[in-house]
Structure 1
Amino acid sequence: MKITSFDDANVATATLSEPTEHCNVAPGGDRAKELTIDDIGLTVRTSNNLRGAGILRIEQLLACSRDELSRIEGMGRTRLDDIESVLRELGLELQC
């Protein structure tokens, strides 16, 4: 993910670069990476925040670190914990 600009309230606008291969994926995780963010049971608000940042697929989500995701407007600790919990159930982790 690349921070492209900041608004008047110093909130970052993010865009995604190409997904990287630095993700820790458990066996069978390749199939899970093909899912969309709507397929994995995230809360509506979390999905909306990700969608607003252009993150639509699990593969794109896995290319992000927790720090990068925290820069998305409205993405607080609770939503980050939600993302990590759902990914953990799928045997996946965010990029370090």
Structure 2
Amino acid sequence: MVVVDKENFMGGTGIAHFEHVMMADEMHGMNRVYAKVTLKKGCSVGYHVHNGDGEDYFVLSGMATLDDNHERTLYLKPGEHYFTPS
């Protein structure tokens, strides 16, 4: 498993801790990221869009706040998930 810390990921704050289950080349173009991502309180991933790919968020602990294309704000609790399509 490849583990990487990314500071200010996509313009976010703090450190996003990635534990990659599979790397992009192992998924043969079917996906780009398959990882457990840990964000400590106050850390974030910056706003970004998905063109040609989607992303699924599944919350293990804590609370996640998602900006859905500036149209609505979602608050996810442990056990909840959200898929953002292309």
| TM-score (normalizing by structure 1) | 0.27
Q: 1 or 2, which has the higher helix percentage?
A: 1
Q: 1 or 2, which has the higher strand percentage?
A: 2
Higher relative contact order (CA 8 A, sep 6+): 1
| TM-score (normalizing by structure 2) | 0.28
